[in-house]
Amino acid sequence: MTVIDNAIYVDGRRTDNPESLEETFETLTARNGFAWIDLDQPSPEELQAVADEFELHPLAVEDALAGHQRSKLERYGKSRFVVLRPATYLDDVEKVAFGEVHLFVGETFVVTVRRAETPDLSSVRRRLEENPELLARGPQAVLYAVLDRIVDDYAPVAGGLENDIDEIEDQLFDRTTNELSRRIYELSREVMLFQRATHPLVDLVNDLKGSVTDAAVDLEIFRGLRDVLDHTHRIVDRVDASRALLENALTTHLTLVGQDQNNQVKKISSWAAILFAPTLVGTIYGMNFDNMPELHWTFGYPLAVLAMVAMGGVLYTVFKRKGWL
């Protein structure tokens, strides 16, 4: 069994460390506390064993096994199924790595299913155990603590993406930079995936906050969720701003590329017209007809050359004044 930690808590303190799920269920009934079971990428058989002990809904179990879920909150009777998408910014490759954390939250249990190396839920557990007053509020405290950690970890990700956008803005007017469009597109995709992970959290946290009463025992949870919601709004605003900046950057870049291409076309067209003038004169006098004006004239050749140079010079001056050359 891929059990990272398995403990029974009574009044906010760890009282037992069961060695099996059967023992967890028996001890939980006797202690009148709540259990927190932390699983790391369990197999279908292992997760089904947990589901059988705590009567988890089959649809929630199916989603947990399938993975690749969006952040969401679903209710099944007195239990909840929560999907969260932790994120980590990989500075060396300038990408965002996304994971999944699934939580089954009931009145007397919390089952966390890790699908990523981050966040370290063991550190979340240690922090909660250092605050027995908060942990005494039961499974809601665990859900709040995990959610708070994941949202806090979003800030460095948003910062990393913003730094990448700053670099792109610095390169926009650097005409020597190649494949800037590809980089903007790839970064836009990372921001879009980040939006999918963060946007649903606003409704999710609002739903959780609305289900917590202002009774004294739940007041700390209510305040904590309110703080998480505030942080979530900030992250969502930053991500949306990043998406807008990237769209503007891409538009500006394509406009500059179009201008460069247009300038190149103008230059090519100008030189083509300039070279066409002597070609036209040379072609006319190269037709080898017997009866042609100035064909046997002494000054015919110098005059033809002068006409070629003059026409080319006039055209060059005109195009130069128009900014085509």
Give the single-character DSSP code of 215: S
Q: Work out the average pLDDT over 181-195.
A: 88
Residue 13, beta-bridge partner list: 10
Question: Would you state the pLDDT for residue 294?
Answer: 67
Token readout for 60 is 């929630």
Query: Residue length, the chain?
Result: 325
For residue 147, is pLDDT > 90? yes
Question: Would you state the pLDDT for residue 295?
Answer: 66
- Yes or no: say if 107 and 78 are a contact pair by the CB < 8 Å rule: yes
For residue 176, is pLDDT > 60? no
Give 1 or 25, the one with higher predicted confidence: 25
Give the single-character DSSP code of 324: -
Give 217 or 34, the one with higher predicted confidence: 34
Per-residue pLDDT reduced to its tens digit, 2-38: 888 889 999 888 888 888 878 888 888 777 889 999 9
* Element spanning 193, H or E: helix 180-211
Give 2 or 239, the one with higher predicted confidence: 239
Cα(101)–Cα(115) distance, rounded to whole angstroms? 6
Question: Would you state the pLDDT for residue 216?
Answer: 46
* Single pTM value for the model: 0.77
Share of the chain above pLDDT 70, in %: 88
At residue 172, the 3 state secondary structure works out as coil
User: Domain segments of the chain: what residues?
Assistant: 3-256, 257-321
The single-letter code of the amino acid at 151 is V
Q: Work out the average pLDDT over 282-307.
A: 70
Q: Work out the average pLDDT over 313-319.
A: 77
Q: Does domain 3-256 have CATH number 3.30.460.20?
A: yes
Cα(325)–Cα(62) distance, rounded to whole angstroms? 67
Q: Indicate the average pLDDT of the chain.
A: 83
For residue 54, is pLDDT > 70? yes
Contacts of 105 (CB under 8 A, 6+ apart): 79, 80, 81, 82, 139, 140, 142, 143
For residue 320, is pLDDT > 60? yes
Cα(182)–Cα(171) distance, rounded to whole angstroms? 13
Using the structure block, give the residue that is written with the tokens 């981050």.
Answer: 118
Tell me the pLDDT band of 258, cut-offs 50, 70 and 90: low
